[in-house]
Amino acid sequence: MPIPIAFLFLLLLLLAASSHATASAVPQPRVISQTRRFYINCGSEKEQKIGSIKWIQDEGFIAVGNMSAVDKPNILPLLATVRYFPDATARKYCYQLPVVKGSRYLVRTTYFYGGFDGGDVPPVFDQIVDGTRWSAVNTTDNFRRGMSTYFEMVAEAQGKTMSVCLARRADTRSSPFISALELVSLDDSMYNTTDFDKYVMSTVARSRFGAKGEIVSYPDDQYNRYWAPFTDANPTVESHSAITPEEFWNVPPAKALRAGVTTSRGKKLSVQWPPVELPAATYYVALYFQDSRTASPYSWRVFDVAVNGKEFFRELNASAAGVMVYSTMMPLSGKMEIVLTPNETSPVGPLINAGEIYQIVPLGGRTATRDVVAMEELARSIKNPPPDWAGDPCLPRQNSWTGVICSEGSPVRVVSLDLKNHGLSGSLPDSIGNLTGMKNIYFGGNKLTGSIPDLSSMHILEELHFEGNQLSGPINPSLGTLTNLKELYLNNNNLTGQIPESLKNKPGLDMRTEGNKLN
């Protein structure tokens, strides 16, 4: 691919969904979101400025994994290191990125294997954003061609952090790894016809038509989206008019619209794009048009737009100022063909300048917010928690935190914790009492210190095992209010004081307190 060394990437096709669509060219007011950007060079030991972007280390965003250099001659700085994850016991490995709840973000992950571990075939693994399984990461073909691979999605922050995780699959043969991770906040108006409470958008292609050579990105695109060149057998044309990106709904860079593909007056223009076959799914499609001629009240370029033989937009007037048309939930499969049919009175042929297509991916859900907050506080309070205690505690279900069992249905609640004999130390936070869906807690055989917190809100708790720790102070009387409590194992700790009367006389309770200094 004849592109500059600064952007040696190949875009892969991702995931699936369903529904229906209509096209529109009506803009909506733009609302500027709070700016937040992270450009993370994974596995790097220092900050680096590459082009116009400062890339930072991943320290502070992730607590697990190892760093490695990639031993390849003349490698791009961004691809020269990786963070990899050899611990096969962990259910996922998560970066935690601070975000603004309700804001929209572009997320990009980049992978270049480079044989960092001495192998010659990259591992295949999954990537997960919050509780949604995004895609498989299979970079084998690109690696053989000496190329890196990137994946993109547009998602809305569901909380104060967004997790980007890697996870092993049944066919993962070596350590999952990552080269770079990017998070860029978008304006609230961008792509806002998608219901981000239900879906994320996974990038399939973003192209500038009639262009050759370089990929357009930052600083031309303030959101660092990649606009790849696309040409076919159709004639190309250069624009002679100034373009104001802010007038377009999705704010494409002016440089991405300076060229286009066209055809002669009176002829239909057919463009097969994107240059990949689409799996049967639902897509967001945005097409950009701009009359290449000098603006004039006596010239016009009017045509109908069809996609795969179906009407997309009628009598589009591609003025010198430019226009975007889009479809929010469009079912597609296989090759996609865009056909522009000129109006009989149009003095010139139709043209198209750029396009974006995203696959609509249903959200995988999210654990109840109060449980997420409580579990994150628990993870911070205890020392040596399991390595996968980051990201969503329950979702995806096969990648829940070690020792965590969750409910079915919605909302998803944490219902059981089993971390006996895990070598844990530290203390239990008061916020553990906010896990009101909890039925069983097994923390026996660790080195937990401090007091037993107030658990009076855990109304359905049935089994509480704290035996074999170093807990001190009195038995919290809140335990006596738990009407469903059947097992209470506090033996072999450093507890002192009186056993609450409400526990001594509680019918059906199996309570063990030996090995303490209780009266």
Every domain of the chain and the residues it spans: 37-186, 201-362, 369-512
- Domain 37-186 matches domain 201-362 at the CATH topology level: yes
Contact 171, 124 (CB under 8 A): yes
Q: Would you identify the CATH topology of the domain 201-362?
A: Jelly Rolls (2.60.120)
SS3 label, residue 511: strand
Report the alpha-carbon distance of residue 295 to residue 289 in Å, rounded: 14
Taking only the tens of pLDDT, the chain with its 519 residues reads 222 222 333 332 222 222 233 344 433 333 334 458 999 999 999 999 999 999 999 999 999 999 999 999 999 999 999 999 999 999 999 999 999 999 999 999 999 999 999 999 999 999 999 999 999 999 999 999 999 999 999 999 999 999 999 999 999 999 999 999 999 999 988 999 999 999 999 999 999 999 988 899 999 999 999 999 999 999 999 987 777 777 788 999 999 999 999 999 999 999 999 999 999 999 999 999 988 887 666 667 899 999 999 999 999 998 888 899 999 999 999 999 999 999 988 888 999 999 999 999 999 989 999 999 999 999 999 999 999 999 999 999 999 999 999 999 889 999 999 999 999 999 999 999 999 999 999 999 999 999 999 999 999 999 999 999 999 999 999 999 999 999 999 999 999 999 999 999 899 999 999 999 988
Task: Enumerate the H helices of 363-425 as residue ranges.
Answer: 369-381
- Whether domain 37-186 has CATH 3.40.109.10: no
Contact 136, 56 (CB under 8 A): no
Contact 495, 469 (CB under 8 A): no
DSSP 296: -
Task: Enumerate the H helices of 169-239 as residue ranges.
Answer: none
Residue 263 C-alpha from the chain's centroid: 40
Report the alpha-carbon distance of residue 401 to residue 389 in Å, rounded: 5
Report the alpha-carbon distance of residue 29 to residue 249 in Å, rounded: 8
For residue 48, give Cα distances in angstroms to 1, 53, 56, 95.
26, 8, 7, 20
SS3 label, residue 337: strand
Report the alpha-carbon distance of residue 287 to residue 291 in Å, rounded: 14
Report the alpha-carbon distance of residue 6 to residue 50 in Å, rounded: 8
Q: What's residue 22's pLDDT?
A: 37
Q: Would you identify the CATH topology of the domain 369-512?
A: 3.80.10
